[in-house]
Amino acid sequence: MIRVQSDAFDPGEEISHLARAGDTGAIATFVGLVRDEGGTLFALTLEHYPGMTERALSVLEAEARGRWSLSDVRIVHRVGRMMPGEIIVFVGVAARHRVEAFAACEFLIDRLKTDAPFWKFEEGNEGGRWVDAHQTDDARADRWRR
């Protein structure tokens, strides 16, 4: 299940859905927050291409399901203007075993950071700026590519 939305959401509800998946023995999750960058960030605005973003996330979900035996996958990503401390992304997977759950969750967040069309604009003490991709994100995603 994939959702891209502007509204806040409850990660606990997402975990509850994952727990209902049949034959689940493990759930691994990642919850990303808007960082305050040492008190210098006022807001983060995330933009995306509707439809294209969901398709890109669906491709990643399908790849994860092809690599690991997963009972369920949930990806929720917010867009729009958010404040420091707000939840921006949830990635959760349910599997029979923890090794598959951990690997699939890590794969999904690593690849999401580089392969999903999102653009970040930060507002801070020194005005606003678009955030460039980080080389460390590229390196983490590259290790999953075949």
pLDDT band at 146 (very low <50, low <70, confident <90, very high): low
Say yes or no to pLDDT of 21 above 90. no
* Fold adopted by 2-142: Aldehyde Oxidoreductase; domain 3 (3.90.1170)
pLDDT of residue 113: 92
Instruction: Please list, in sequence order, all residues whose beta carbon lies within 8 angstroms of the beta carbon of residue 59, skipping any fewer than 6 positions away.
Output: 115
User: What pTM was estimated for this model as a whole?
Assistant: 0.94
pLDDT of residue 36: 87
Q: What is the Cα–Cα distance from 80 to 45, expressed in whole angstroms?
A: 5
Secondary structure of residue 74 in the 3-state scheme = strand
Say yes or no to pLDDT of 110 above 80. yes
125-137 confidence digits (pLDDT tens): 889 999 987 888 8
What separation in angstroms does the CA of 19 have from each of 12, 36, 55, 82?
Answer: 10, 32, 25, 28
Say yes or no to pLDDT of 8 above 80. yes
Q: Which 8-state DSSP code applies to residue 37?
A: G
| Mean pLDDT value of segment 53-57 | 97
Say yes or no to pLDDT of 90 above 80. yes
Q: Which 8-state DSSP code applies to residue 97?
A: S
Domain boundaries, the chain: 2-142
Secondary structure of residue 8 in the 3-state scheme = coil
pLDDT of residue 140: 85
Say yes or no to pLDDT of 54 above 80. yes
